[in-house]
Structure 1
C-alpha cells in the first residue's frame, strides 16, 4: 500500500518533524510505502510530487493548521488528524488507513 501525507503543527517545528518520523516508521513496520511532506517554519520540505499523490492509496494529513496545496489531494481518500495523534499513535493511524483502503474493494 502506498501512503502520502503532510505534517504541519501550529509552531511548525517539533511536532511536524516528530509526526513525519513516527508515521514513516509505522508505515514501514506495517509493510507500506509512505512519504510525508512537512510544512513548517522553513516552508515546505520533502514536497510530494503529483505522481506520488496520484499513485497513493490514501492520504494522511497530520495537521494542526491550514496547509497549502490541499487541493492536490482532490478525489483521494483522506484521513485528517491532529499531529498529536500521529505522534502518540502512529501504528493505529496506519492500521486505520489500511482498513479504509481495504473497504474500497
Structure 2
C-alpha cells in the first residue's frame, strides 16, 4: 500500500514535524510506502509530487489548519484527523487507512 500525507499544525512547528515522523515510522513499520509533506512556518517541505499522489492508495491529512493545495487530492480516498491523532495514535491511524483501502467505494 502506498500512502501520502500532509501534516500541518496551528503554530507550524512542533506538531507538524512530530506528526510527520510518527506517521512515516508507523507506515514503514507496517510495511507500507509512505511520504508525508509538511506545511509549517518555514513553508512546504517534502512536497508531494503529482506522481506520488497519483500512485497513492490513500491520503492522510493530519492538520489543525486549512492546508494549501488540497485540490491535488481530489478523487483520492482521504482520512482527515487533527495532528494530535497522528502524534498519539499513529499505528491505529495507519491500521485505519489499511481498512479504508479494502472497503468498496
TM-score computed with the length of structure 2 as normaliser: 0.98
Deviations 1:70-98 (A, max 9, x none): 00000000000000000000000000000
Whole-angstrom CA distance in 2 between matches of 1:22 and 1:4:
13
Deviations 1:5-38 (A, max 9, x none): 0000000000000000000000001110000000
User: 1:20 corresponds to which residue?
Assistant: 20
Deviations 1:28-52 (A, max 9, x none): 0111000000000000000000000
Structure 1 stretches of 5 or more lacking a match? Answer: none
Whole-angstrom CA distance in 2 between matches of 1:67 and 1:2:
21
Q: CA deviation at 1:104?
A: 2.8
Whole-angstrom CA distance in 2 between matches of 1:10 and 1:68:
13
Q: Is 2:71 aligned against 1:82?
A: no
TM-score computed with the length of structure 1 as normaliser: 0.98
User: 1:48 corresponds to which residue?
Assistant: 48
User: 1:66 corresponds to which residue?
Assistant: 66
Whole-angstrom CA distance in 2 between matches of 1:14 and 1:84:
11
Alpha carbon RMSD of aligned pairs, Å?
Answer: 0.9
Q: Is 2:47 aligned against 1:36?
A: no
Count residues with an aligned counterpart: 105
Whole-angstrom CA distance in 2 between matches of 1:104 and 1:57:
13
